[in-house]
Amino acid sequence: MKLRVLGLSIAVCLLAACGGKSDAPAATGDAKATGDKAGGEAKSGGELNVYNWSDYIAENTVPDFEKKSGVKVTYDVFDSNEMVESKLLAGASGYDIVVPTLNFLGRQIQAGVFQPLDKSKIPNLANLDPDMLKRIALQDPDNKYAVPYHWGTTGIGYNVDKVTAAFGNTDVTASWDLVFKPENLSKLKSCGVTLLDTPSEIIPIALNYLGEDPNSQDPAVIDKAAALLKTIRPHITNFHSSQYIDSMAKGSTCLVVGWSGDVVQARDRADEAKNGVKIGYSIPKEGAPLWFDMLAIPKDAKNVDYAYKFIDYLLEPQVAADNTNFVSYPNANLKATELVNKDITGDPTIYPPAEVRAKLFTFAIIPPDVDRQYTRIWTQLKTGR
Ligand code: SPD
């Protein structure tokens, strides 16, 4: 497997400057997908170009596929939907499979960037949970263009000892008050506060906290989120969407608004390192985002048959279970669930129980004008203007 790491920061990427694989920086190595080449050269001489989130696949998944299929996989990673979208909209991305989140995928479907799936080439679709497919079909009607890979939540990751030192215990993590009340967040600034570097999640979370519709498209309402974020800006030490796995594990970030499985990976890395760092993850009582990351084939993909083979392979129960066991994100594969380690299916931070799921909200597809407002707010927030 060849691995390259692309665009691990959101920034505002001009379409012209972001398209195509040729502008990819050199590989720096993904913590989980090691970049090891599969044993032996590809027999078929075929190739496949995959663009997936960082820290999102088991170590053996790609090498095993290469051995089995004889297809050589180039596996690039990203950590923001905005980056994927800019490449897809610019066209000629060079990828055969991409993995945007469902609400972004919905908008990209409308922009005509994907090809409809030939479901006869994905027999393992039968393994998927019909209820989840129904939910997903709200943004990908008839599940025509994409297949769910993993799902998860966005919540608060925290260093147990640092939060306890600042507040006496960790009860404060049960509410977004911890993040959105400056008097709370200021207590953690000195040990490192990271927010995901994406307006598409942080603005809806702020709106939900304010009691507004997280998916509001009213500019005046969205500005309320901007005003709230401004009040906590002095206490945010970093905006990033992947580095926090390591920095939490090492103890140099003590609070993150981040993704469930990534925080659990940080927890596990700290446990493995036996460095005494204890990490918790909370889905605050006011509610939090629930999202699905989706496998899709761009219209201009060159290696479509191999893309189908890889997607079908990812849906094999054991492969899906191995990925979930490795990255701590659930999948929508019913047949895989029984193969997932019980300490993972039983972990409420990974598989939230029904009463918690009831409080989760999903992201709507946002139109271009709202998107522009989000970007403006984000740029101002990050630059402190
Ligand atoms: N490291 C893998 C992170 C996957 C996050 N998916 C993003 C969901 C965005 N709503």
187 has a pLDDT exceeding 80: yes
Residues 6 or more apart whose Cβ sits within 8 Å of residue 242: 8, 54, 55, 79, 262
Measured from the CA of 54, which atom of ligand 1 is nearest?
1
pLDDT band at 362 (very low <50, low <70, confident <90, very high): very high
Angle between helices 317-327 and 304-314 (to 10 degrees): 70
Burial 97-130 (b: 16+ CB within 10 A, else e): bbbbbbbbbbbbbeeebbbebeeeebebbebbbe
Span from the CA of 1 to the centroid of ligand 1 (angstroms): 22
By CB atoms closer than 10 A (0-12, 13-18, 19+), residue 320 is: buried
Please work out whether the CB of residue 56 comes within 6 Å of at least one atom of ligand 1. yes
17 has a pLDDT exceeding 70: no
CB atoms inside a 10 Å sphere around CB 195: 25
Taking residues 162-187, what's their average pLDDT?
Answer: 98
- Cβ(6)–Cβ(31) under 8 Å? no
Average pLDDT value for the chain: 90
Span from the CA of 17 to the centroid of ligand 1 (angstroms): 23
The residues that bridge with 48 in the sheet, in sequence order, are 73
What values do phi and psi take at 279, rounded to 5? Answer: -120, 140
pLDDT band at 384 (very low <50, low <70, confident <90, very high): confident
Percentage of residues of the chain with pLDDT beyond 70: 89
Span from the CA of 151 to the centroid of ligand 1 (angstroms): 8
- Euclidean distance between CA atoms 19 and 342, whole angstroms: 42
- Euclidean distance between CA atoms 270 and 30, whole angstroms: 18
Measured from the CA of 289, which atom of ligand 1 is nearest?
10
Lowest mean pLDDT among 37-41, 55-59, 82-86: 37-41
3 state SS of 113: coil
10 has a pLDDT exceeding 50: no
51 has a pLDDT exceeding 60: yes
The per-residue pLDDT for 43 is 56
- Cβ(57)–Cβ(323) under 8 Å? yes
3 state SS of 54: coil
- Cβ(125)–Cβ(147) under 8 Å? yes
SS3 labels along 74-103: EEEEECCHHHHHHHHHHCCCCCCEECCEHH
Span from the CA of 293 to the centroid of ligand 1 (angstroms): 7
Kindly report, residue by residue over 320-338, the tens digit of the pLDDT: 999 999 999 999 999 999 9
Please work out whether the CB of residue 293 comes within 6 Å of at least one atom of ligand 1. yes
**Which of 8, 10, 53, 365 gets mutated to test ligand 1 (max ligand atoms within 8 A of its CB)?**
53
By CB atoms closer than 10 A (0-12, 13-18, 19+), residue 182 is: middle
Kindly report, residue by residue over 58-97, the tens digit of the pLDDT: 999 999 999 999 999 999 999 999 999 999 999 999 999 9
36 has a pLDDT exceeding 60: no
The per-residue pLDDT for 15 is 25
CA-proximal residue: ligand 1, atom 4 (nearest): 53
- Euclidean distance between CA atoms 52 and 86, whole angstroms: 14
Measured from the CA of 154, which atom of ligand 1 is nearest?
10
4 has a pLDDT exceeding 90: no
- Euclidean distance between CA atoms 220 and 243, whole angstroms: 33
The per-residue pLDDT for 31 is 32
* Closest to 257 (Cα-Cα) out of 201, 314, 310: 201
CA-proximal residue: ligand 1, atom 6 (nearest): 293
The per-residue pLDDT for 246 is 98
- Euclidean distance between CA atoms 373 and 93, whole angstroms: 26
By CB atoms closer than 10 A (0-12, 13-18, 19+), residue 355 is: exposed
Please work out whether the CB of residue 201 comes within 6 Å of at least one atom of ligand 1. yes
Span from the CA of 226 to the centroid of ligand 1 (angstroms): 23
| Joined tokens for residue 295 | 């496998």
- Euclidean distance between CA atoms 192 and 247, whole angstroms: 9
pLDDT band at 232 (very low <50, low <70, confident <90, very high): very high
**Residue 172 region by backbone torsions, left for phi larger than 0, else alpha for psi between -120 and 50, else beta:** alpha
Residues 6 or more apart whose Cβ sits within 8 Å of residue 61: 314, 319, 322, 323
Span from the CA of 94 to the centroid of ligand 1 (angstroms): 22
**Which of 85, 98, 101 gets mutated to test ligand 1 (max ligand atoms within 8 A of its CB)?**
101
Span from the CA of 298 to the centroid of ligand 1 (angstroms): 20
Kindly report, residue by residue over 243-301, the tens digit of the pLDDT: 999 999 999 999 999 999 999 999 999 999 999 999 999 999 999 999 999 999 999 99
Span from the CA of 348 to the centroid of ligand 1 (angstroms): 18
